[in-house]
Amino acid sequence: MAPEKSGKGGADPFKKIYAVVKRIPEGRVATYGQVASLAGLPGRARLAGTALRETPEGLDLPWQRVINAGGKVSPRGGMSVAEGYQRHLLEEEGVVFSASGRVDLERFGWNPDARPPRRRGS
């Protein structure tokens, strides 16, 4: 059975993170720690950031839906308009930022376990 070379796990951690980010529904946001956890990499929140740092093209990756645990857009350190751009994209999707530029994770935080109430809404 053609075992993989050196019996390694195979999938790269970056790829797992991309897969999870792709699953974030529109109008919802997730934290790096949450994404890492769902990717099977608990405690590797920084890895999620490192992976998104490149934002590979062609994957239709909604990187803008990933923010830090503080509910704020992560500063890149250097100069990057991407921060303002990210906020703009989220607002377009329906995410509301508070006066301090913070998002209410209680309301817009993605809950992968939550099921859309069907049958008689509300």
Query: Total number of residues binding DNA (CB under 7 A)?
Result: 34
Instruction: Go through the chain and tell me how many residues it has.
Output: 122
| Residue among 53, 115, 119, 120 that touches DNA (CB under 7 A) | 53
Give the phi and the psi of residue 100 in degrees, each rounded to 5. -90, 10
Closest approach of DNA to the CB of residue 113, in Å = 18
Quick one: which of 83, 89, 20, 93 has its CA closest to 51?
A: 20
82 binds DNA (CB under 7 A): yes
Which residues in this chain contact DNA in the complex, by CB under 7 A?
Answer: 12-14, 31-34, 41, 43-50, 52-53, 55, 63-64, 66, 68-70, 73-77, 82, 86, 100, 102
